[in-house]
Structure 1
Amino acid sequence: MANQRHFLSCKDYLVSGEEFDLFWHKEHEILETKPVPVNLPFYYSSDRYISHTDSKENFTEKLYQQVKNYMMGKKISWIKNYKTSGKILDVGAGTGDFLITARKHHFEIFGTEPNETARGMAIRKDVSLVKDYQELKIKNYDVITLWHVLEHIKEPEEGIAKLSELLDDDGVLVIAVPNFKSFDAQHYKECWAAYDVPRHLFHFSQKGIESLFTAGGFELLSKKPLIFDSFYVSLLSEKNKTGSSNYIKAFYNGLKSNIKAKTSTEYSSLVYFFRKSKNGL
């Protein structure tokens, strides 16, 4: 990616306390985190990295797990607008809960997860995951999902090409990512928790996602907001900014973000539904 300029500097609040820079890619309206640490897995080594656990030890974790469980059904209902059965692949499946829901809805489930601890937890739930989606041999998945995973992939264009290879010609690709043009991102700036450097290697706007996937041979079918994300991200961002969780202020800013997004469409996170372009681009 060319045409870069410095956009923002952010701190790793989760593990190292180190500072990283975000650079703007003009051609795709995407931000890139630099430098990328050589030992990137180290930056995931925290008990507070909630997508790799099923922890419910504090209020924030309990709230996260409750919302996650509710959203599993919502996500499946969105997918069933396009596919009601078939092979579903969840890339970055965490502890396997989305795939458990998909199996209950009569999908044949497959998943990948690079984190060994999360894979072990999934296995105990009778969900078998492989480490890397690049190693998959099965083709023609009817649905492929990446729930807040694309931002972790080092080479997005190469990742999209691999996803295209794995997806059936009539399949549906589902991508959920944070939106750095949302109100909560603009409000919290370098403290916005969804920047999550250096684990999030890229950061996307709506234009950025659409242009990236169009260039990769996909066409957009629809978009859905993840309205709970603004509240959760605001809660984490408040702690980044002030050192303590201000639930009232976080709720206010999360609500304000969603209200503004009703007009601007710039929600904190969005889900994009793609299919392969029929024009063969």
Structure 2
Amino acid sequence: MNKKAFLKVKDHSVSGEEFDLLYDSEFDFLETTPQPSKEKLPEYYKSEDYISHTDSKRNLFEKVYHVVKTRTLKRKLKLINKYSKNEISLLDFGCGTGDFLKVAKESEWEVFGVEPNDQARQIANSKLDELVFTSEEFLKFEKERFDVITLWHVLEHVPDLNTHLALFKKLLKPNGTLIIAVPNYKSFDAKIYKRYWAAFDVPRHLWHFSRTSINKLMMLNQMEVVKTYPMLFDAFYVSLLSEKYKTGHMNPIRAFCVGCLSNLKAIRSKEYSSLIYVVKNSKN
């Protein structure tokens, strides 16, 4: 593969270490280098500020996050219902504290989750009657088990990228649906903040995708992107954190302006801060 240096980025939330982002010209994605070993990687998630692994509401920022999350859960459910009519089996990979699965279960979906973080998995299982499993247990699901597999801001965290994509394809039923939400390193807010862009989030984010890279990866695994949707709130959330990393303060007014401008420019460019990809499995 042809890879070249793209940017040097700091881990602002846990270790303070610096990592290189290498550009892969074949797939148009960035790769975090060096990537921590599987044994060391969990250490980079040990932070009280890693909000997706807790249900805490300690401050205004976290309270707003959970209010927005409650609203987006309903939109996520509406999305999978749109592309999965009369289908009921759902796996949420990297399900965090299980809130999306809880909403889906209440709407009569048969739900299962996978969450490698022990703390988040325990919280999720308290809501879902032990329906959330470890990454090792995930390998025990039978072939063509699920109508829908969702990864909400998870694919960028996954080691052995192609191995996992092949597993998702194997677990999906023919013509099943894979929903992937990931940050977009070609967005306007990414270009504004550069090495301070919070969605780089190294080394927890091992990969950094563009629209081109997602399409190429799906084609490589005999799947097809059939629709793309923007995640408008992400431009504001990421800009707020990016301001903190760059200046030491949230600077909500400037972050709001950058978020607005990013979403406005993306109307034409389609390069939103984060994107949801609806992917269909082949019928073969």
Do the two structures share a fold, i.e. TM-score over 0.5?
Answer: yes
- 2:35 is aligned with what amino acid? V
Tell me how far 1:220 sits from its aligned partner.
1.3
Hey, what's the Cα distance between the residues in 2 that align with 1:163 and 1:236?
A: 31
Q: 1:263 aligns with which of 255, 260, 268?
A: 268
- Alignment coverage as a number of residue pairs: 278
> What residue in structure 2 maps to residue 47 of structure 1?
48
For structure 2, the 5+ residue unaligned runs are: none
Q: 2:88 aligns with which of 86, 89, 96?
A: 86
Hey, what's the Cα distance between the residues in 2 that align with 1:51 and 1:180?
A: 21
Q: 2:198 aligns with which of 170, 193, 204?
A: 193
Moved more, 75-84 or 140-149: 75-84
Does 1:238 find its partner at 2:237?
no
> What residue in structure 2 maps to residue 137 of structure 1?
141
**Secondary structure at 1:228's aligned position in 2?**
helix
**Secondary structure at 1:254's aligned position in 2?**
helix
Per-residue CA deviations over 1:3-26 (Å, capped at 9, x if unaligned) read 000000000001000000000000
For structure 1, the 5+ residue unaligned runs are: none
Tell me how far 1:134 sits from its aligned partner.
4.4
> What residue in structure 2 maps to residue 21 of structure 1?
20
Q: CA 1:127–1:3 in structure 2 vs 1: closer, same or farther (change >3 Å)? A: farther
- 1:226 is aligned with what amino acid? M
> What residue in structure 1 maps to residue 6 of structure 2?
7
1:94-105 to 2 correspondence within 5 Å?
94-105=96-107
Hey, what's the Cα distance between the residues in 1 that align with 2:204 and 2:169?
A: 24
> What residue in structure 2 maps to residue 181 of structure 1?
186
The normalised TM-score by structure 2 is 0.95
Tell me how far 1:206 sits from its aligned partner.
0.4
> What residue in structure 2 maps to residue 32 of structure 1?
31
Aligned-CA RMSD value: 1.1
The normalised TM-score by structure 1 is 0.96
Aligned residues of 1:96 and 1:127 also touching (Cα < 8 A):
no
Aligned residues of 2:180 and 2:276 also touching (Cα < 8 A):
yes
Aligned residues of 2:41 and 2:204 also touching (Cα < 8 A):
yes
**Secondary structure at 2:83's aligned position in 1?**
coil
Aligned residues of 2:181 and 2:274 also touching (Cα < 8 A):
yes
Hey, what's the Cα distance between the residues in 1 that align with 2:48 and 2:206?
A: 21
Aligned residues of 1:234 and 1:250 also touching (Cα < 8 A):
yes
Per-residue CA deviations over 1:178-205 (Å, capped at 9, x if unaligned) read 0000000000000000000000000000
Q: CA 1:227–1:136 in structure 2 vs 1: closer, same or farther (change >3 Å)? A: farther
Aligned residues of 2:175 and 2:282 also touching (Cα < 8 A):
no
Tell me how far 1:127 sits from its aligned partner.
4.5
List 4+ stretches of structure 1 deviating above 6 A.
Answer: none
- Percent identity between the aligned chains? 50
Hey, what's the Cα distance between the residues in 1 that align with 2:71 and 2:6?
A: 35
> What residue in structure 2 maps to residue 254 of structure 1?
259
Q: 2:113 aligns with which of 111, 114, 119?
A: 111
Hey, what's the Cα distance between the residues in 1 that align with 2:214 and 2:207?
A: 11
Moved more, 129-138 or 210-219: 129-138
Tell me how far 1:83 sits from its aligned partner.
1.2
Q: CA 1:171–1:47 in structure 2 vs 1: closer, same or farther (change >3 Å)? A: same
Hey, what's the Cα distance between the residues in 1 that align with 2:140 and 2:33?
A: 29
Aligned residues of 1:238 and 1:244 also touching (Cα < 8 A):
yes
